[in-house]
Chains A and B, each alone.
Chain A
Amino acid sequence: MQSSNPSGVSRRALAKAGIFGAAAAPLLAACGNDGGGSDEGDGELDFWWWGSDPRHQYTQQIIDAFTAANEGITIKPSPNEFDAYWDALNVSVSGNNAPDVMQQDERYLRDYADKNALMAFEDLDVDLSNIEEGTLATGQLDGKTYGIATGVNSLTLMVNPVLVEAAGMAMPDDLNWTWADFAQWTTDLSAAGDAIGNSGISFNNESLFNVFARQRGESLYTPDGKLGFTEATMNEWWQMVVDLRDAGAIPDATRIVEGYAAGQDQAPLATGTGVSEFYWTNQVGAIQEVLGGDLVLLRIPGETAGTQPGMYLKSAMYWSVARTTSDQAAAAKLVDFLLNSDESIDLMLGDRGLPSNIEQRERILPMLTPDQKLSADFIAALTPDLAEGPPVPPVGAGGVADIMLGLYETLLFDQTTVEETTTAFIEQTSTAIGA
């Protein structure tokens, strides 16, 4: 579950298949790699981001505004779809052709920074005065800042109220509900209505498990980059999944696999065949659009039942500059423009998360679209109740999502027990993050 990646299988597959075929050539060019960023800029910037069509369109408008205001800088934009983006970025960085300015994600930022692919913002002239310390810290590694958060979002349980009503049931009290309440509610929904209570495609999401662990005073990762939860907690998590499946609250294993593979636009919540699913707040607009109806955002269950609230604000995505950029000054100008200019934020609004620039956030609140307002209000109401955010994920955390999904599948198909799943997760994840 990524912050924003409505993905149809065909596009990502096409792009990936193509990249694999072309992958050999850059490897050849990749053997020597010493060049650093030069101060004598050539004024040409490659600018890469991922997203959906609306984002591509307004980002192009931002680029046009930027180049109009900055004579002598040309920008080569390269929009992509989330999964294909990371393959392409990996290949281009390996081939020493990294884009000058790029969108980054929490999962991969530290991998790229650790491999010395990114330039620290301490060496760049970007105005960061309107961005909170805590927000900046989410983009740091070893005290240097390699990514600036574009905005924040939060996990939420999205619910289709029409289907709840059709099942003759009521909305839960999400301020005080427990995971047991959630299990009962979704089980009843499946039994009473035609749609499945929860589509079950998020229990492999390590961020959601992180919320669960934090509610127990633990966390997915510790500040020093180790695993921060007990086996008992993860056993409890997987046992809950098995119970939900057996009770019919979530679909059988094959349908969950299909639902996951279908991508956000074709998953049960968007097609109206599922009542609820966990997503990031900034995904609500895209899902409502496909569904053609309104969704309600609920808090994650168990927030008041444990030792502390587990939910947290995540940096939606980051702006980063490649260490090998051909024009440091121009790259810094572009990031500055993206973060701080009215022209940029007027177009971006809440699409890359609620803006991290506090001044800009205040300014655009009244201009938000209804779905962005929904997210903004949800986050605003939630913020006072939040505990301190989780530590940044360690290097190697990018592989954890795949590990968890693979193990979730073996569990769903009864190929492994709850305890075996936990053991395997701890083992494989420890290898991935080198803990």
Chain B
Amino acid sequence: MTDNDVAVVRPKPRSSGAPPEPAASAPSPSPNRARGKTGTTIRSRERWAALSFLSPWLLGLLAITIGPMIASFYLSFTDYSLGYGEWVGGENYAQMLDDPRLAQSIKVTAIYTFVSVPLQLAAALLLAIILDRGLRGMAFYRSVFYLPSLLGASVAIAIMWRQVFGTEGLVNQLLALVGIQGEGWVSHPDYALGTLIILHVWTFGSPMIIFLAGLRQIPTMYYEAAKVDGAGVMRRFFSVTIPLLTPIIFFNFVLQIINSFQSFTQAFIVSGGRGGPADSTLFLTLYLYDQGFTQFNMGYASAIAWLLLAIIAIFTALNFLMSKFWVFYGDND
């Protein structure tokens, strides 16, 4: 790495020796634009066709997503419980301000999300880059690494996690081999959340697949150009791969943040359904569940659900705002 300054990465198609034809040509103007007078009827007929094909999904959306959402929004202003509720105005929302367990659950959820998501994406990207080099038997490895993504959210894996990180579990048996006396990891308030974070990181498969697809889309000519300019492996990674991958990173980041705010199954099972020990794994979703289904406070639980929605919406909006500063779309260069 003698002359770093040379390897400027502002790819210009003609700068390398014999590049392949640019993959995507500019979209040609749509021929449909100049349609005859019959266009409207065709289009409205198409609209009906589209609607009827969409109807199974639309009905589902209305009946099991939008409808319950409206109901829960209404319930969040009542003290609904076991079939009866009265309008209490904003009382449920006011109650949130003075609820230490809610504060604890927000803290736990935030730590979980902001530690596990970057780690998970880093693991996914690393694996994607390794797998992108076209090893023999690639399809096999890809499937193997994708497997945890399919399994990770399952009840069975969560139960296995309990065992693996238990006092007599696999982790402690391995530690015992090197002379370390391990704790009961899932049963200790200082470590329980850590085991859940590891579980989340372990399910790196789906972002990995998306990264792989993203890596495939980076034209090789950029790398060749950088190589010609004398850029080393690291330099090419940070100056070619990362900038061109930022849209994909952004996509994965938004998706995973939303997902991990909504995590429920793993914590529910690993903590025995209570967010224990000592509320150390009390995710917002678990607290919502506890309020709604154990304490019978469905009104308050509905309010918490809307708080969760608001939090996710705010973070997603922030993500999009900040994306202007770091996400690089090749075409606006």
A residues near B, CB below 8 A?
A: 9-10, 12-14, 16-17, 19-20, 23-25, 27-28, 30-31, 33, 83, 86-87, 90-91, 93-96, 98, 111-112, 115-117, 253-255, 257-258, 260-261, 398-399, 402, 405-406, 409-410, 413, 415, 432
Contacts and interface: CB of A to CB of B under 8 A. Distances in A.
Among B84, B183, B277, B294, the most chain A Cβ lie within 10 Å of the Cβ of B277
A90 B296 contact: yes
A95 to B, nearest CB: 8
Given A9-B162, A27-B71, A93-B82, A399 B295 contact: yes
Contacts of A30: 71, 80, 83
Among B269, B289, B293, the most chain A Cβ lie within 10 Å of the Cβ of B293
A409 B184 contact: no
B79 to A, nearest CB: 11
Interface string B271-314: 01110111100000000011011111010000000000000000
B293 A10 contact: no
Contact of A111 (B80, B162, B268, B296): B296
3 closest A-B pairs (Cβ-Cβ)? A254-B184, A257-B187, A24-B68
Given A27-B75, A398-B296, A10 B155 contact: yes
B265 A415 contact: no
Contacts of B290: 402
Interface residues of B, number: 44
Contacts of A406: 274, 276, 278-279
A377 B133 CA distance: 75
Contact of B71 (A31, A98, A112, A117): A31
A94 B83 contact: yes
Among A94, A111, A116, A117, the most chain B Cβ lie within 10 Å of the Cβ of A94
B187 A117 contact: no
Contact of A413 (B278, B289, B296): B278
A402 B67 contact: no
A28 B67 CA distance: 7
A interface secondary structure, majority: helix
Interface in B148-180: 155, 158-159, 162, 166-167
A9 B82 contact: no
Interface string B171-210: 0000000000001101111000000000000000000000
B130 interface: no
A409 B276 contact: yes
Contacts of B183: 254
Interface string B302-329: 0000000000000000000000000000
A324 to B, nearest CB: 9
B264 interface: yes
Contacts of A260: 272
B307 to A, nearest CB: 17
Contact of A28 (B68, B80, B264, B293): B68
A402 B272 CA distance: 12
Interface in B60-86: 63-64, 67-68, 71-72, 74-75, 80-84
A253 B184 CA distance: 9
Given A10-B155, A20-B289, A399 B294 contact: yes
A17 B155 contact: yes
Given A117-B83, A257-B188, 17 more contacts: A13-B158, A28-B67, A28-B71, A33-B83, A94-B81, A98-B83, A115-B81, A115-B83, A257-B184, A258-B166, A258-B184, A398-B295, A402-B295, A406-B276, A409-B189, A410-B278, A410-B279
A95 B68 CA distance: 12
B82 A402 contact: no
A16 B289 CA distance: 10
Nearest to A29: B71
B111 to A, nearest CB: 17
A90 B82 contact: yes
A16 B273 contact: yes
B295 A409 contact: no
B84 A115 contact: yes
Contact of A13 (B63, B159, B186): B159
Nearest to A96: B83
Contact of B188 (A91, A112, A253): A253
B167 to A, nearest CB: 6
28 contacts: A9-B159, A9-B162, A13-B273, A16-B273, A20-B293, A24-B64, A33-B83, A83-B273, A90-B296, A94-B83, A115-B82, A115-B84, A116-B83, A116-B84, A117-B82, A253-B277, A254-B188, A398-B296, A399-B294, A402-B274, A402-B294, A405-B276, A410-B189, A410-B278, A413-B189, A413-B277, A413-B278, A432-B295
Contacts of A20: 264, 268, 289, 293
A95 B272 CA distance: 26
A94 B81 CA distance: 7
Contacts of A9: 159, 162, 269, 272
A261 B187 contact: yes
A257 B277 contact: yes
Contacts of A13: 155, 158-159, 268-269, 273
Given A24-B68, A93-B83, A258-B167, A17 B268 contact: yes
A117 B290 CA distance: 21
Nearest to A411: B278
Contact of A258 (B67, B71, B187, B269): B187
A398 B274 CA distance: 14
